[in-house]
Structure 1
């Protein structure tokens, strides 16, 4: 009888350990799957998110990716990403008034005819290489045609990056009619042009090496104004 009692205690102990392991496993999975989304609920001239880069933005090539959803369809232009120094707009990414996607490096930009952004989440990647002058955009893993743009140009370090606003002077004088309204998440940036296959993997949610300029999982964000951070499971 004593032997049976001891066996029962041993079995209960094993069950307790298994339950604890299961809880720890689920906790770890929840931590891995938890993601943050920035919600810009209304048009304003005060709401934006400043991102702190992991390294200076002294770039001769880049891949910039993000997930975007917006209901502003053909109503006005929308800023998606703004990097500005005291002297110039070094890199601005836009949804144009006519629906095209574009980015600008210190002056005139390169524009792409792509499927329009909408309320359903879209995965965007922009690529550019100074040595060849090649530029492209990817929409949900599908690549646009290649365009030639600013061969030999270099993006200069020393500025600030903002999501949600574009400033007419260094981090000031925001225009509400250019502000972003909707959701932005999973913003990553690399100082190289990633392969087409790597960008497709990211669209499908597969793990790849995180951005070395901006890594959405670790990049410091400074929230300003009416921006809501929503944590969700991916």
Structure 2
């Protein structure tokens, strides 16, 4: 850049020198009143000292025109060089601005609208869509959840007089106390002019590492209770927005020309509860997705086609939701707590749900089985997830929502602990959704 600018400045200097030389040599001004048109003209030309100016002008009109053309060309060269320098200065300012932004490590803005994103950068340290206060609030909720689970384990320990459980309980209590101290220290740092924000990523990593370890220990302790409960009486908990907490269904879905998907959800996440489930197949990451992201309403995606659902569930209470769909005319229906809340058609009509895909709970897939984005992760609790390859009737869905003895289980996927694997600190523990209705 510096070398090019130096060369351009030399060209400008030469152009200016030539112009001054010509003007200094030809700076004799004359006028003639009648050159055929009766209009006044001013001509700069070189004439002998004793020659008549007008005669000299008539004799040398063509050389004067040539000189004028030369001067105009030089002037054009100067203007072009000036414009080039201005463009290069603008480029330098733009590059300087970009460098400043990079050094400031500013976070990218999320892409507008729905689940589609403009950036391929993935978050690896938790919730990138929230500020420190929101993250601390989530950590506090997680602590309360862990304490409740610890109390359940204490009760289990007393009932079974288990020395090993008591030992693990003491260890877990110590871990929770340490975690509370970290959260308190984080709060104090933020309140004191936020000096701790400089190391926010490092602090968040330590806290999430502790959480993951704590969840794993509690999960190990809860394994001792599995023999005493049915395999379908459990829930999945996703306490934080991350790109590594999820559950994976062990088998794929068959080809389906109709489906009903139902589940129990509880969340108070805002904005948007995230992605309760996503099903991706080779060549299509959005084969079947349920998502509520940002300030958008909850949506069902089939082969990348979208229908907006009239669900309102982020009030911290358990809700039963179902979505039915048939490939004929793409007709769909949406139910919340046993009541139809909306319906429509032309949602991916005559496109069967493809087989041989990957079904993920808690994350939205950008690639087959991966490409998770923390801003679209589900935050909350999920239970009794079932899929049928047909459209359930209104009565069948009502029985599911009211825990009727006539309620059925999914013939494509049914909610069993042996059917899923969990990763990244998502927890699985005893729960019965219908108990919430009593």
> What is the TM-score of this pair, normalised by structure 1?
0.80
Return the offset for 1:115.
Answer: 2.8
Secondary structure at the counterpart of residue 202 of structure 1: helix
For 2:373 and 2:417, locate their aligned partners in 1 and report how far apart those are by CA, in whole Å: 29
Query: After the TM superposition, which residues 86-125 of structure 1 pair with which residues of structure 2 at under 5 Å, given as runs?
Result: 86-88=282-284, 89-98=286-295, 100-125=297-322
Deviation at 1:113, TM superposition (A): 2.6
Gapped regions of structure 2 (runs ≥ 5): 1-227
1:189 corresponds, among 387, 398, 422, to 387
Where in structure 2 are the equivalents of 1:215-234 lying within 5 Å? 215-217=414-416, 220-233=419-432, 234=435
Q: CA deviation at 1:150?
A: 2.2
Q: Classify the secondary structure of the residue corresponding to 2:262.
A: strand
Asked if 1:60 is matched to 2:257, the reply is yes
Q: How far did residue 32 of structure 1 move? A: 5.1
- Mapped contact 1:141–1:203 kept (Cα < 8 A): yes
Deviation at 1:43, TM superposition (A): 1.2
1:34 Cα offset (Å): 6.6
Q: Which runs of 5+ in 1 are unaligned?
A: 1-29
Structure 1 equivalent of residue 240 of structure 2: 42
Match of 1:213 in 2: 412
CA gap of 1:33–1:163, structure 2 versus 1, over 3 A, is: closer
Instruction: Tell me if structure 2 keeps the 8 A contact 1:51–1:219.
Output: no
Correspondences of 1:29-178 after superposition (within 5 Å): 31=229, 35-53=233-251, 56-73=253-270, 75-76=271-272, 78-88=274-284, 89-98=286-295, 100-148=297-345, 149-178=347-376
In structure 2, distance between residues paired with 1:33 and 1:161:
20
| Pairwise CA RMSD | 2.0
CA distance in 2, matches of 1:125, 1:145: 11
Looking at structure 1, the residues matched to 269 and 420 of structure 2 have their Cα atoms a distance apart, in angstroms, of: 24
Give the drift of 1:100: 2.1
Structure showing the higher helix proportion among its residues: 2
Decide whether the 8 Å contact of 2:231 with 2:416 is kept in 1: no
In the alignment, the residues of structure 1 paired with residue 380 and residue 233 of structure 2 have an alpha-carbon distance, to the nearest angstrom, of 17
The corresponding residue for 2:377 is 179
CA–CA distance in structure 2, aligned partners of residues 86 and 195 of structure 1: 32
Deviation digits for residues 131-167 of structure 1, max 9, x if unmatched?
A: 2421011000110232002221111001110001112
Q: Deviations over 1:166-211 (max 9, x none)?
A: 1222222211111111100000000000000110011011132210
Aligned-partner Cα distance in 2 for 1:135–1:229: 31
- Correspondent of 1:199 among 389, 393, 397: 397
* 178-187 or 144-153: bigger deviation: 144-153
Give the 3-state SS of the residue equivalent to 2:332 in structure 1: strand
2: CA distance between counterparts of 1:35 and 1:70? 19
